[in-house]
Every structure is written in C-alpha cells, then in structure tokens.
Structure 1
Amino acid sequence: MRIQLVTVGTTGSVAPYTGLAHRLLADGHDVELATHARFESLVSCCGLRIRPIDADPFEALLGAHSRRGSGLPALRALRGAGQRAALDLVDGILTAVDPKADLILLSTLAAPIGSVVARYHRIPTIGAFLQPDVPSREFAPCSMAWRGPARANPLRARLANAAFDSLYDAAVRAVHQRLGLAPAGSHRLRTTRERDNWPIWHGYSPTVLARPSDWRSGLRVAGYWWPHECPQWQPPALLADFLAAGPPPVLIGFGSMMPGDPEQLSHLAAGALRRAGLRGIVQSGWAGLDVIDDDIITVDAVPHGWLMPRTAAVVHHAGAGTTAAGLRAGVPAVPVPVMTDQPWWAARLVELGVSEQAISYRELTESRLADALLAATRDGVLRRNAAGLARALQREDGAGSVADAIARLG
C-alpha cells in the first residue's frame, strides 16, 4: 500500500511519526512522510522518504507567543498569528499531498487542510493524533486546565474545538477555492467527520490516559509512537565524558519552545542546579539556552530515548512528545509548561505520581526550580512510580497497533 503521513508543527509534532512510518515501512508498505523541509535529516536518517513542505510558520508563531503581553489585545494578536500560520500552510499541503497515495494519515495540525485535499483526490484518510480531540465527560480538553470527570467537560471541549476551528477557517476556505470546491468552514468539516465516524488513532498510552467510555466508535488509543532513532547516531564526546564523570545529572530543556530571554533562562537554570547541588545537562533547543559550568554542560539535539534514561530527573515543557519520552525513561519529571496542551499534560504527570508539582513558566524562579529538583531527585515514591510506568509502557506497541489495523484494510 502507498501510504503518506502528513504532519506539521515543531519537532514534537514530527518525531513520533518517524517511528510510526518506519513500522509501516517494515511491514512492506511504500511510505512517505510529508513535513517541513527543516526536518529532512531527521526523516532521512530513519531511512524514510520525505516530501518537504517549505512553509514553516511555527517558529514565528512561537516567537509571537513568547513576546505577547497580557489582556485582550495580546490574545487578539496571538489569534491573528495563528490564523496566518494556518494560511501559510495551504500551498505547502496542497503541493505535498500525493494524489497517488492509497491512504493518508493526518496529524492534528495537518488534518483541517489535508483532509480537504485528500477528499478532492478521493484518497481515504485516518487521523493520527498525539492528543485527545473528541469531547468526553471523563476529562477536560487538552487546551484547557486538566480536570477529571465532569458533566461540563463536553461543553468545554466543544468550545475549545470551536476556537481551534476558527484559526483554520480562512485556510480551509482558501483550499476549497484553490481546488474549485464549494466553500465550507473548518467547523462544518469537523461536524461532517464526526457524523461519518472518521477514524482517529491516538498516539499516546492508554496507561497514561485511558480511552473514554463515552467516545464514539472509530476512536482508538494506540499507545505511543516512539521516534525512530538514527542507527548511525553517536553521542558527542563531551556528553559521553560528562555522563561517565559522575552521578546521573538532571536534564533541563524546553524543546521547540522559545519562552523568553535565553540568557535569563540560562542563568536561572544554572542557579537552580547550583542551589540544589546537582549536575546538569542543558539542551539549547529553539530557545538557544547556553550554560557553561564545572558541573553543567550544554548540548544540541540529542535523542531523548538515549539521553533521558541516563538522567536523574527531567525538567521540560510538558509537550506531548517530551512528556512521553520522560515517562518511557522512567525518571521523575519537573514539568514547566508554556502554552497550549502543556499545562494539561503537566497536570497529568502530577496525577500519575511521577512529578511533585507543575510550575508554570510564568511563575518559574530559581528557588522554585531548585526545590522542585531536590524533590524530584530525592523522593523515592516519585522514582518508583516513574519506573513502574516505564515498565508498563514497554509492554505496549503503539505503532504496531496502527500497522495491524492498516494491514486489515488491505
């Protein structure tokens, strides 16, 4: 079968799909990953074919978020940036979708546009989402604060979905116009997908978040899709030597987030590590962090699956992919969420007992981070809970679940 996976966004929105695509490739399918050109080395290193999407508006969008102030004008400005980002994707996805594909898998951010293009070419599609998308009574939507079972949760989710759809309205209407189709809005298309029981596979663990009992048919929780690691990758000598020179360090990184002034955040991280008396590895990430000290090093991109199990704890922004990597590593977390679904996943880590508390980035201080680091590295209950969850995740095969379902389609 000729299968295309289309995903857009940051590293965390792309890396999990390399594992899913590689599993489908191993099953004998002809597989292509359509994503931003900046991830070409990440994709090709896994032996996958990439169809590059040149438009990449997400760094600018994250920058707009980091610069935003407060109040209604700031929210309007951020909404405008989100609408422009969606519009910027139209030409790229129109070009990237393979008209000869037998099946297309679409990520959350690619689905509103990609589903229109695929339908135009009469290609079946499946949602491949990293977060829950359909309303449920059992939890609040992931763009809001975490809440457990509540009667108001479906209403909250419908409001959240309406806000998301409004960001794509202009883009969806533009793609209809480009293809000569009758105009339709993003919310209408969501309603149609729900009415037709559009299949969605969710790439997170049912151990971390069980499938809700009130979800419709066609919605499945597969388990995590672990990023495929490049077989030729070797750790830099500096990193290998540092790990060998002392006890497991703490890892601090914010991935693709650009939450504030990099010099200030670097100084805060170094100060917290010194206060806690801990060794540390700081990942520069998109934020451009840079710390040099006797017991602290700074590294560029390093596979989480290799590095995190070698640490004592992980400080991260609680994006879906990084959250998954930390759980797989079996180490306690100090989540410092910045935006979107990150506060939701951060709260979930606390609920799961692998984190003592989540610290909003806006409330992050050197002393608060130091205290959280001490708790994460000294609390035996957190360590046992983290290790137990990691063992449970080892028994799951998220990519295999999706591959088996696709094999049944053929």
Structure 2
Amino acid sequence: MGSNAFDCPLRNSEEELCRSGQELNKRFEQTGSVDISAMVDSDEQFEAGPLQETQKRETISGNKAGDLQGKQKQETNSGLQPSVQDIFESKKLNATSFPQQGLGRCTPVGSHRHPPIDDDDNATIYRSITEKKTPRHELKLDKLSEHEKKKLISGLVKIQNDGTVDVDLAKTAPNSVEGGTSFYLNDTSLESSNKLIPRLKIAILVAGTRGDVQPFLAIAKRLQEFGHHVRLATHANFKSFVRSAGVEFYPLGGDPRILAGYMIKNKGFIPSTPGDIALPLKQIKAVIESFLPACTEPDMETGVPFRAQAIIANPPAYGHVHVAEALGVPIHIFSTMPSTPTYELPNPYARVPQAGYWLSYIVVDLLIWWATKGYINDLRKRKLKLPPISYFSIYNGSIYHLPTVYMWSPHLVPKPRDWGPLVDVVGYCFLNLGSKYKPREEFNEWIQKGTKPIYIGFGSMLLEYPKETTDIIMEALKATGQRGIIVRGWGDLGHFTELPDTVFLLEDCPHDWLFPQCAAVVHHGGAGTTAAGLKAGCPTTIVPFFGDQFFWGDQIHKRGLGPAPTPIAKLSVESLSNAIRFMLQPEVKSQAMELAKLIEKEDGVGAAVDAFHRHLPRELPLPTAASLDEDKHPDHLQWFLIQLQKWFCLPCGV
C-alpha cells in the first residue's frame, strides 16, 4: 500500500479501537454487557482527527458528483445515451472499458433448462429516459452529524456477553405483523416469460466456510448450463473444491479458519469484548481488497480475460455492492439466512421479542457498518475512485434494495408476508456430491453390519476442548446404546484412548451420501448441513456455536424435527443423551420424513437461477442505490430515521 494517504487513518482507527477495547473490557467484566455508546465516543475521536480532511474531500466529491448527474440528465433528455466508457471515465476508475451486453438484444428465458442464448458480445446498452424522479424525503435528522445519529442508536442497543444484540424496545414504538407497515421496493424487472438475456460473465463472491461455498457452486454449475461464463471467487482454502466441479476459481483474501475461530469465540461477528474487533477487521479488509480483481482480472491459471457483467454475492462478502456500483453492473444477493427486514423473523444475530424483529435487522446492519466503514470507504476512494459514503446519508451501505434469493425450503420457513417481489425463497440448493462418492470397504462393511448410527460432527467449527467434547459424545452414545459416526472436522474431534466397535471415525464424507445411512444427526446447525439432514429425513439435534445456527435450531424444534438446540458451551452427557432419545421417537422420525418428501420435490438451484434471470434489470448499467432515495415512498432506512426523529428529536426541537 506504500505511502497512500488513506493508510494512516485506517491504522489509527485500528489502534484506537484496540485502545478503547482495553478500557471497555474492564466495564464488560463488571457488567456482562457493553454499551455501544462507548464505541461511538471512540469513533468520534477517530472521525474528528484524521478524517477531517477526508470529510472536506467528500464535500468536493459530492459537488463533482452533482455536476456529473446534471450532465447525465442533459444527455438523457436530449436522447444521447452515455457509454460504458463514459461511465468509467466519470468515476475515474483506473480500468479499461469492457463490452457489456444490452438486455434489449437477448433471448427469452422461461422455465426450460436450456433457452437459446445470444452470442453477441457487443450489444448496445440503453438507459431508460422515461423514469420520473421525485424529491427525496427531507428529514430533520439529516441536519445531525453522523455521530449524533449514532448516539440515538446507542441508546437503544447493548451487546450482550453471548455476542448477540439486545434492543431496548421500551424506547421504540412496538410493531407487529398485523399492526406494522410493510416496506419493500417494487420489482422493476421484466416478467420471466418476456425476459431476454444474453450470455453474461458472472462473478460469484462468497466469503465463509465450505458450507457457505457449496450451494453457490451448485448455482454456478447450473448457470454454466445456460451458457454463462461463471467465476466463483472465494477463499484459497476451497480452490480444489471449486475447480473439481468444473467452475473457474479466483482467490479471495482472508482465512476462513481465523474468521470461524473469531465467530465461535464471540458468538458471531459482533465482538463479545470491544478489544477483539481488530482481528476480524484485518481479515475482512483482506477479503474486501480482493473483490475488484476478482471481478476484473484474467484467470490466474489460464490467463483468459474476465470482467464481470453481473455479480452474485452472499451478505458476508462486505464490499460487493460498492464494486458493482463502480463497474456499473447488476448485483444479486444470495443468502442462507434472513437479512431482509421483516416483522415475522428476527435477525439471527439479535435477541429481541417479536415487536423488535424488524428493527433488529437495521440495528445489526448499523453495527456491522460502523465496524467496517473505514475499510469500505478506503476501498471506494483508493481503488474504486468513488466518493466515500455514510450509512445515514445514502443507502449504498445496505443491500435491502437489491434482488435477494434465500436458499432454504419454504416448507420449513415460509417467505414472510412483508417481503416484496424482489425477494425469493427458492428452496435448498444441493450440489449432490454423493453420486460420485465411493466409501472405503471397511466403512461400508461397518455400516451394513448393525443398526443405523447417529451422525455427530461440527463441520468447520473449531472446538476449544476437542478431547472433552469427544468424551461427552462417547459417553452419550454408550448411555443410549447407539452406534455412532464421528466426523473429525476442523474441530479435531476423535481423541480416543480406545475406539469401540460401535463408533466409526471419519475424516470427511459427503452429507448427501452419509446422512441417508443414519438414524439421526447431531451437528452445529450450518445451513447446508441442516438442509442435507432434512433432505435425508433425519431427526436433527443442533448444537449451535454462533449466528444463524441458533436460528436454525429454533426452526427445527418448532417443527418437531428435533429437541431444542443445546449451545456447544452447554453440551453435556445428559443433554446429548436426552437429545438422542428425543430424536429416536417414532413421531419425530415421521415428521422428518414428511418434510423430506416436500424438499425432494423442490428444485432450489433451478429456482435460484430463474430468479437471477428474472431480476436482471431492463437496461445496463444498473441505476445506483442512491437514486432509490428519490423514490416517492420512503425506504426502510428513511422510515427508521423518521421514527427516530419522532422518538428523540421532537422533544428537544431539533
């Protein structure tokens, strides 16, 4: 990075976070929770120093952006269409222009698997000249500084010692599914029956573990069947996994093992103690830095040129929307856990009653934004040549306005009634690795010679005490008289003094082959592992470590498919023995088989690809997220700020 002017503020912010973390750790040990207003105070010190000059540059950039918008408006009104090269030059992105295919010269997409595809790589891109603009809703909160707005939020939120977010609803207006208002953006894409698409170069950006990568690999393969050139960009740990499936790979930065260890320690991204925040930020910075080359650089092995014309990304790939903005290409969010605000489901990282479900998404999003905004704005200014942004001033920091695909079965968790047409719940997306798996003869013989075993494994989760956890598993299997398959995983299970004949230790095995051989499954509750167990008709016990694993554990229990989740920190011989007995009840097995039949009829991969095609915009480049603020109806964030204005600002006359 050399002597880049933006290096010092970022380093200062990390150091400041660490220093403030040490001070807050003492308070945390005494109270068991952290008031984020202390973090806000620390953030104010950072912003008041090195970023004062940056804020001046932001104002200048904003003025230039306004001049550019005026120029583009004149061009639009006169019938002149700006080219992709003009767009790149206007943003001063240090990259060569590239051909994109206009959606006006395309071929129809329907429900069939292989529609005819347009091979024209030089189709013209058109912009709509009929879209009406209305003034953005002016808020009194716009007059407040970002720090003052943070103070308002900090009065509502505390981070608990289990890593979850607690929202004080006594300071908010309660809402419910019946009494609340639904807020969603209209889908401006064409219906699939009339939609025309070209062959596209598609970059899929995935940050996370192997379980996060696997469903995207299934989607990448299906997109290739439609003639698209697909690149899956994820961590270097999964290079062979991606390439073995016949999909182009590009490495992202960051080590998923380090991130997984942090998430397990802190029960999620939000730190249990503020001093821990520097570790994930360094890893996340490495991920963010790699997004632009992942979308623009040639294949690292073949040298074949690549420049994304559309992006698919999962929510933890922070920075994806900003790269899409710079490239002027559409972006679609694909996720295995809910991240769109709703009154019907809580954010998996929050702990709130139903009245706070919708608000929990905004709060968690804000906390993550405050932690990552330094790196995001550095990316925008230094690499993307875009102006810096504030979450409160424009909507670019959020993904709520983007087409979103959720990859779980609607038979397990139906689509909430307040999610609009831009959101699809498509079903589980399976890669189906089991068809090629050949088990060792020793393992095959062991399975055949006895009753169906209990599967126990925690996948990519790291264990603080692997030997003690192994002992608990062995004692529970003995107490219930069950055979067991233990998968070592990243947690290094399987420290035995003596391995009995009733237990088999595996290093790895495809779940879609293994789970049908099992009577029930015990695992960490990753979305992919949960899906595989349900598809196999297995009663399920979830031992969550963090995040959405608790959410899936709750959903399993609500449907009668398994016992209530037992967090890894509370796992004992008694709790695991009781869970095994619960799963072996005939009525639980019956419930699991009923759901399995419904899942078997789903084609999540096909529905996900159909949703991607359906939500492609009418024209490229995609309008920036900022233009959505000009819609005649308030979006999620504006509505939230209006409520804050009512709750906090009116009494003081701001």
TM-score of the alignment, normalized to the shorter chain, above 0.5: yes
Deviation of 1:239 after TM superposition, in Å, equals: 2.4
Q: Identity across aligned pairs (percent)? A: 28
Task: For CA contacts below 8 A with separation 6 or more, give which structure has more relative contact order.
Answer: 2
Change in 2 beyond 3 A, CA 1:41/1:203: same
- Asked if 1 retains the 8 angstrom alpha-carbon contact of 2:203 and 2:294, the reply is no
Is 1:182 paired with 2:380? no
- Which runs of no fewer than 5 residues in structure 2 stay unpaired? 1-199, 297-305, 619-654
Q: Select 2:249's aligned residue among 50, 60, 70.
A: 50
Q: Select 1:117's aligned residue among 308, 315, 323.
A: 323
Is 1:215 paired with 2:419? yes
The number of residues matched between the two structures is: 402
For residues 149-164 of structure 1, the aligned pairs below 5 Å read: 150-164=354-368
- Asked if 1 retains the 8 angstrom alpha-carbon contact of 2:407 and 2:427, the reply is yes
Is 1:84 paired with 2:84? no
Q: Select 1:139's aligned residue among 311, 320, 345.
A: 345
Deviation of 1:185 after TM superposition, in Å, equals: 4.4
For residues 35-46 of structure 1, the aligned pairs below 5 Å read: 35-46=234-245
In the alignment, the residues of structure 2 paired with residue 313 and residue 357 of structure 1 have an alpha-carbon distance, to the nearest angstrom, of 15
Deviation of 1:356 after TM superposition, in Å, equals: 2.2
After superposition, the C-alpha distances for 1:79-112 in whole angstroms (9 at most, x for unaligned) are 33332321121222232123622211011111x3
In the alignment, the residues of structure 1 paired with residue 372 and residue 209 of structure 2 have an alpha-carbon distance, to the nearest angstrom, of 18
* SS of residue in 2 equivalent to 1:97: helix
After superposition, the C-alpha distances for 1:204-232 in whole angstroms (9 at most, x for unaligned) are 11111111111233111111111242764
Deviation of 1:382 after TM superposition, in Å, equals: 0.8
* SS of residue in 2 equivalent to 1:131: coil
After superposition, the C-alpha distances for 1:118-171 in whole angstroms (9 at most, x for unaligned) are 221112111111111011111111113586xx3321122221222232332222
TM-score, normalised to structure 2's length?
Answer: 0.58
In the alignment, the residues of structure 2 paired with residue 216 and residue 405 of structure 1 have an alpha-carbon distance, to the nearest angstrom, of 13
Q: Select 1:322's aligned residue among 529, 552, 557.
A: 529
After superposition, the C-alpha distances for 1:49-81 in whole angstroms (9 at most, x for unaligned) are 11122x233311332355569xx9842234333
* SS of residue in 1 equivalent to 2:583: helix
Change in 2 beyond 3 A, CA 1:73/1:153: closer
User: In angstroms, what is the RMSD of aligned CA positions?
Assistant: 2.3
* SS of residue in 1 equivalent to 2:290: helix
Tell me what 1:61 maps to.
Answer: 259
Tell me what 1:225 maps to.
Answer: 429
The residue type equivalent to 2:312 in the other structure is: L
- Greater CA radius of gyration, 1 or 2? 2
- Asked if 2 retains the 8 angstrom alpha-carbon contact of 1:146 and 1:347, the reply is no
Deviation of 1:249 after TM superposition, in Å, equals: 0.5
The residue type equivalent to 1:58 in the other structure is: P
Q: Select 2:545's aligned residue among 338, 351, 355.
A: 338
- Asked if 2 retains the 8 angstrom alpha-carbon contact of 1:225 and 1:399, the reply is yes
- Which runs of no fewer than 5 residues in structure 1 stay unpaired? none
In the alignment, the residues of structure 1 paired with residue 364 and residue 469 of structure 2 have an alpha-carbon distance, to the nearest angstrom, of 31
Deviation of 1:381 after TM superposition, in Å, equals: 1.2
In the alignment, the residues of structure 2 paired with residue 373 and residue 26 of structure 1 have an alpha-carbon distance, to the nearest angstrom, of 42
In the alignment, the residues of structure 2 paired with residue 194 and residue 64 of structure 1 have an alpha-carbon distance, to the nearest angstrom, of 24
- Asked if 2 retains the 8 angstrom alpha-carbon contact of 1:7 and 1:14, the reply is yes
Change in 2 beyond 3 A, CA 1:242/1:56: farther
After superposition, the C-alpha distances for 1:356-383 in whole angstroms (9 at most, x for unaligned) are 2211111110121012112212x11110
* SS of residue in 2 equivalent to 1:152: helix
Is 1:95 paired with 2:293? yes
Tell me what 2:211 maps to.
Answer: 12
In the alignment, the residues of structure 1 paired with residue 570 and residue 361 of structure 2 have an alpha-carbon distance, to the nearest angstrom, of 26
After superposition, the C-alpha distances for 1:255-311 in whole angstroms (9 at most, x for unaligned) are 111132111111111111111111111111110111532111111221111111110
Deviation of 1:403 after TM superposition, in Å, equals: 1.8
In the alignment, the residues of structure 2 paired with residue 3 and residue 208 of structure 1 have an alpha-carbon distance, to the nearest angstrom, of 30
Tell me what 2:48 maps to.
Answer: none
Is 1:307 paired with 2:551? no
In the alignment, the residues of structure 1 paired with residue 466 and residue 397 of structure 2 have an alpha-carbon distance, to the nearest angstrom, of 44
TM-score, normalised to structure 1's length?
Answer: 0.91
For residues 190-339 of structure 1, the aligned pairs below 5 Å read: 197-229=401-433, 232-290=436-494, 291=496, 292-339=499-546
The residue type equivalent to 1:304 in the other structure is: H
Tell me what 2:637 maps to.
Answer: none
Change in 2 beyond 3 A, CA 1:68/1:29: closer
Tell me what 2:224 maps to.
Answer: 25
Tell me what 1:365 maps to.
Answer: 572
